[in-house]
């Protein structure tokens, strides 16, 4: 039987200690709680509990005493102005008993955001990041400086930048079941997710909505896996691109619902290479997506900058705008321009094909790319999750199940 991780003793801190002595006292407790040596996020060397009734009451203190390999369990509740920089690796931060709401309230770690992350193999689960603002207007719910980070079941709202990374070429970012909404950066572009020139970005089962001038997703990563998400700007949203890869790279965009609102700040929905190709390989795979253009006029589903880029468009539904200006070099099969009444209820963002639609069963074989079979095996399920398909995708578009 695998032994349970040891737990930090919960006896109270002596009242006579000042803050510096208190941190030293806590650190000694942590060292006593687990042996030295490298640990992993799956088998943390110690558990540190954070909350109003715990010895460690704030994330700011926890970040100072935590060490590699620890599990940080944070009790549900509001943590106002409780910002922190986390340099540790193999670290796991997990909400317990409900949501952990990180309210910036004007504070920022290192002048960058609510959390600043720079370790390897770090995971965060169950946190809400709200209202990040800094003097240079790049305030992020999470700022990823370097390393590898997995974010699950978290939300980002009312931030200047929801989640922002640096340009470290070895960085990996994985997002699962997260929500990004209501960017706030008056006078400039508020990107809900902005990945810099990193090694890989993976986004699955996430919900992006109500942008403000900036993009729902902007990524300069070398490799992008954008699978089974909902990117819908919706009523009141004014996002620019819904999905942009400004420097190309390899982008696998599979099984997403992508909607451009009537108030969009830019007519383009998906853009590839607009700022020039910088990676050795340029490839866009746009497979089994449902793209809905609600702009009154002049909307553009896809723009690919001319150059050494391969673009494959297979089994996509293009709805609302009957004009699709495809380039001659694009590989296309099984794509359909349709009216909104082809869906069950487009007015409520139900973009499943009607039960009697003539398009049902008309998907073609999408093939393989980058070692992956491109036929979807899952589907986005609202809100912010995915569900497995009972059989390989048969219909064009992102929605296979009712």
Reported as a pLDDT band with limits 50, 70 and 90, residue 224 is very high
Q: Is residue 364's pLDDT more than 60?
A: yes
Least confident of 3-7, 16-20, 146-150, 174-178: 3-7
- 31 versus 296: the higher-pLDDT residue is 296
Strand, coil or helix: what is 376?
coil
Reported as a pLDDT band with limits 50, 70 and 90, residue 359 is very high
The partner residues of 283 in beta bridges, in order of sequence, read 250, 310
pLDDT digits over 96-122, tens only? 999 999 999 999 999 999 999 999 999
Least confident of 22-36, 155-169, 207-221, 278-292: 22-36
Q: By percentage, how much of the chain surpasses pLDDT 90?
A: 85
Q: Is residue 25's pLDDT more than 50?
A: no
Contacts of 366 (CB under 8 A, 6+ apart): 287, 288, 314, 315, 333, 334, 374, 375
Reported as a pLDDT band with limits 50, 70 and 90, residue 11 is very low
Report the predicted TM-score, pTM, of the whole model to 2 decimal places. 0.89
Name the token pair of 115. Answer: 């959390």
Secondary structure (H, E, C), 312-357: EEECCEEECCCCCCCCCCCEEECCEEECHHHEEEHHHCEEEECCCC
Question: Could you identify the residue written with the tokens 């709401």?
Answer: 101
Q: Is residue 371's pLDDT more than 70?
A: yes
pLDDT for residue 189: 86
- Quote the mean pLDDT of the chain: 90
Omega into 383 within 30° of 0, i.e. cis?
yes
pLDDT for residue 188: 85
Cα angle vertex 214, ends 211, 217, to 5°?
Answer: 80
Q: By percentage, how much of the chain surpasses pLDDT 70?
A: 89
pLDDT for residue 265: 87
pLDDT for residue 45: 63
Taking the C-alpha atoms of residue 139 and residue 132, their distance in angstroms, rounded to an integer, is: 5
Reported as a pLDDT band with limits 50, 70 and 90, residue 43 is low
- 334 versus 18: the higher-pLDDT residue is 334
pLDDT digits over 138-190, tens only? 999 999 999 999 999 999 999 999 999 999 999 999 999 999 999 999 888 89
Strand, coil or helix: what is 283?
strand
pLDDT for residue 187: 80
pLDDT for residue 297: 86
What residue spans define the domains of the chain? 50-166, 210-402
146 and 118 Cβ atoms separated by less than 8 Å: yes
Taking the C-alpha atoms of residue 342 and residue 358, their distance in angstroms, rounded to an integer, is: 9
Taking the C-alpha atoms of residue 399 and residue 402, their distance in angstroms, rounded to an integer, is: 8
Reported as a pLDDT band with limits 50, 70 and 90, residue 29 is very low
Q: Is residue 124's pLDDT more than 70?
A: yes
The partner residues of 338 in beta bridges, in order of sequence, read 319
- Reported residue count of the chain is 402
């Amino acid at each position: 039987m695998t032994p349970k991780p040891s737990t930090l003793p919960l006896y109270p801190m002596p009242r006579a200690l000042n803050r510096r002595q208190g941190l030293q006292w806590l650190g000694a407790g942590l060292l006593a709680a687990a042996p030295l040596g490298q640990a992993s996020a799956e088998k943390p060397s110690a558990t540190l509990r954070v909350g109003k009734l715990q010895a460690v009451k704030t994330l700011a203190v926890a970040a100072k005493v935590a060490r590699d390999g620890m599990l940080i369990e944070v009790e549900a509740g509001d943590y106002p102005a409780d910002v922190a920089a986390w340099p540790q690796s193999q670290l796991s931060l997990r909400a317990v008993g409900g949501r952990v709401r990180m309210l910036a309230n004007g504070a920022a770690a290192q002048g960058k955001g609510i959390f600043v992350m720079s370790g390897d193999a770090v995971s965060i689960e169950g946190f809400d990041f709200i209202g990040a603002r800094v003097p240079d207007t790049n305030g992020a719910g999470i700022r990823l400086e370097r390393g590898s980070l997995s974010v699950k079941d978290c939300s980002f709202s009312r931030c200047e930048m929801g989640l922002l990374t640096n340009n470290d070429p070895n960085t990996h970012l994985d997002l699962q079941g997260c929500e990004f909404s209501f960017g706030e950066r008056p006078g400039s572009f508020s990107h809900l997710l902005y990945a810099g020139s990193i090694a890989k970005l993976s986004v699955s089962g996430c919900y992006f909505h109500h942008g403000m001038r900036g993009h729902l997703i902007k990524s300069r990563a070398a490799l992008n896996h954008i699978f089974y998400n909902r990117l819908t700007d919706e009523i009141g949203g004014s996002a620019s691109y819904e999905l942009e890869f400004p420097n190309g790279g390899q982008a696998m965009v599979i099984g997403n619902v992508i909607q451009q609102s009537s108030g969009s700040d830019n007519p383009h929905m998906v853009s590839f290479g607009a700022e020039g190709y910088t990676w050795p390989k340029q490839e866009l795979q746009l497979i089994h997506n449902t793209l809905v253009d609600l702009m009154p006029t002049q909307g553009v589903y896809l723009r690919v900058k001319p150059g050494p880029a391969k673009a494959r468009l297979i089994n996509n539904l293009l709805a609302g705008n009957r004009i699709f200006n495809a380039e001659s070099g694009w590989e296309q099969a099984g794509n359909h321009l349709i009216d909104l009444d082809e869906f069950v209820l487009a007015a409520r963002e139900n973009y499943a094909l009607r039960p009697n639609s003539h398009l049902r069963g008309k998907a073609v074989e999408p093939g393989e790319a980058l070692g992956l079979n491109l036929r979807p095996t899952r589907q986005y399920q609202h809100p912010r999750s995915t569900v497995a398909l009972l059989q390989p995708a048969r219909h064009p578009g992102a929605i296979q199940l009712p």
